[in-house]
Chains A and B, each alone.
Chain A
Amino acid sequence: MIITKSKPFEEIQAMTEPFSKIFIVGCGTCSTSCQTGGEPQVEEMAEKLGSKVIGTAMVEEPCDRRIDRKDLKPHKENLDKADAVLVMSCGVGVQTVGDFTGKIVLPASDTLFIGETERIGKFYDRCSACGECILHETGGICPISRCAKSILNGPCGGQVKGMCEVGDYEFDCAWVQIFDRLKEQDRLDLFMKFRPPRDHRKKVLTKQHIF
C-alpha cells in the first residue's frame, strides 16, 4: 500500500488560498486505509475549507485514469467550474487526476512510502521500488528500504544493540534483522555473500512499464 500523511491544514490553506472554487477528490483505496483521503477526511476537509469548495468526489483508485473517468463523470459540471482540484491521495493519484482533468491539482498529503500495515496508524516502509528485488537473498527483509544507508553488504558500524544510529536508535538495524532471520533459517551462507554494486540504471531508466 502507498502510505500517506496529511499535510498540516495551514499548508493546505495556504495552497488553496489563491483559488476561489475548489473541487476535492478523495481516494477509496490506500488513502482511505491511511485515513488521509477517505470519505470522512474529504467531508472534514470540505467543511474546513468552507464555501470555496464547490464539490467533492470519492474515486476508488485516483491513480487509475480509467477509474477517474468513471468516478468523476457524474461530477463533470462542478469539476469544469473549479479553479483547482485538491486531491487527497498519494502523489500518483494527484498526478493522474491532473493528467485526466487538465486542472491545477493540489496535494493534500505527503507520500511517505510503499508500506506494510500492522494496523491503521502503524505503517512501515518496506519497498523503495528499486527495480532489482533481492528479498530471496536477504531473508525477506529489504535492506534498500529498511537500512538508512540502503547498503547491500551490512551491517555498517552504526548499529548498537541491533538499533540504527539514524533516528536515535529507535529503528531496527535492517542488517541485524537480516542476520537474525537468515541464522534462524540456517541460511547464513546468504548473509556471507558479497553483493556487487547495484546497477542504478535499472531504476533510473525505468520511468515507464509498457507491455
Chain B
Amino acid sequence: MGSKRPAFSNLMKEIEKGKFVLTGELEPEKVTGLEEILTSARAMKPYVVAANVTDNPLAMAYMNSLVPSYVVQREVGLETVYQMVVRDRNRLALVSDVLAASYLGIKNILAISGDHTVLGDNKGANSVYDLDSAQFVYLLHKMIDEGTDLEGLEIHGDVNINVGIAGNPNANPLEPEILKIGRKAPLGTDFIQTQTVFDIDITKEFLKETEKYNCPVLIGIFPLKSYGIADFFDKYIPGVSVPKDLLASMKKCKEEPDKERRKELYDEVNIEFFSPFIKEIRKTTKAAGIHVMAVLYERILDPLLKETL
C-alpha cells in the first residue's frame, strides 16, 4: 500500500483483502434538503463499498459535502469518501473540517485541488489554495499518523481516516502527472481514484506507470445518462473527451421520441461500451477497482455491474 497506516475504512479493508472494489458518487447541489442524495445512496448501496460525496465540483457553490457524507453513513449505512478541495479552505479550515469529519465517523477523505473558481458559478470568487493537494495530504499525514497539525500542535483524540488522491490518466503530457503522483503517494496516500477514462489503452498505461508507487488505483468511469450530459462532459470537463463513436451513439438515442424507450436505448449504449471496459480492467490489469460516477443514473448500476462482475 502507499502508506503504512491501518485500513480504517471498509473501502481500504476490502482493497487489502484483494477484492475488486466499486465506489460510487453522490453530488449534493444547491439544495437545502438531502432526499435526492439519500435516494441515490440507497440505490447504489448494494453495488458499492463506498460513495464519494463531491465538494463544490466544477467550483459550483453547493451544499457542504461533510453533512451529506455523515448523513449518508448514518441514514443509509453506506460508507462515504468525503471529498475535500483545497480551493475553498485555508489550512485552518482544513484542520477544522477534518476534526469534525473525524468526530462524525468519516473514514475516507479524497484530497483534491478543485477546479479553479473562474470555471464555476461564482467566477469572481477568490480561490484559496493556501495548501495544494500534496500539502493537504501531508497535513492529513500529520493529523492521522502523528496526531498534530502542521505546526506540530497536538490533537486531542485520534484521526482514523484513510486518504485518497486523484489521478488523471488522460493527462497530456502524462509524465509530469505520473511524477506528481510519485511525489504525493509517499506523503501518506492510501488510494488513488482517477478522473473519468473512456480509453482502455490510456487506462492501462496509467496503471503501468503508477504501479511502482504501490498505491491501489480505482479507475473512474462515467456512464452517460443522456446525450446532453455526454456533450457537456466532452466540452467542459478539463482533459476529458468522450469517444466520437460513443457520442454519436448517444446522439442517435436522443432522437427516439418515446421517453421510456429512449432511456432503454441510452442504457444499452452504456452497457455495450462500459461492460467490456470494466471486464478488461478487472481481468487484465492490477486496478483495485472502479469508481463509478453514475450521478443520478443509479439505474445503470444493476445491469452494468451484474453483467460485469
Contact = CB atoms under 8 A, between A and B. Distances in A.
Given A155-B176, A158-B116, A166-B116, A194 B138 contact: yes
A158 B176 contact: no
A158 B119 CA distance: 11
Interface stretch (A19-27, A29-37, A87-95, A145-153): A145-153
A188 B119 contact: no
Nearest to A183: B175
A54 B133 CA distance: 56
Given A151-B113, A192-B179, A194-B183, A156 B132 contact: yes
Given A159-B171, A196-B135, A200-B130, A176 B115 contact: no
B176 A191 contact: yes
A149 B127 contact: yes
Interface string A133-163: 0000000000000001111111111111110
Given A166-B116, A194-B134, A188 B179 contact: yes
A124 to B, nearest CB: 19
A149 B118 CA distance: 11
A150 B176 contact: no
Contacts of A162: 172-173
A197 B135 contact: yes
Nearest to B168: A157
A165 interface: yes
Contacts, number: 97
Interface in A180-194: 183, 188, 191-194
B91 A158 contact: no
A176 B179 CA distance: 11
A151 B129 contact: yes
A171 to B, nearest CB: 11
A160 B172 CA distance: 6
A88 B87 CA distance: 36
A90 B227 CA distance: 50
Interface string B113-124: 101101100000
Contacts of B173: 161-162, 176, 179
Given A161-B172, A191-B179, A152 B239 contact: no
A155 B98 CA distance: 25
A157 B238 contact: yes
Given A165-B115, A192-B179, A194-B183, A153 B132 contact: yes
Interface in B97-115: 112-113, 115
Interface string B187-213: 100000001000000000000000000
Contacts of B138: 194, 196-197
Contact of A157 (B91, B139, B175, B195): B195
B182 interface: yes
A164 to B, nearest CB: 8
Given A153-B134, A157-B171, A157-B238, A148 B116 contact: yes
A160 B36 CA distance: 33
Contact of B115 (A158, A188, A194, A195): A158
A153 B184 contact: yes
B175 A179 contact: yes
A113 interface: no
A162 B183 CA distance: 19
A200 to B, nearest CB: 7
B150 interface: yes
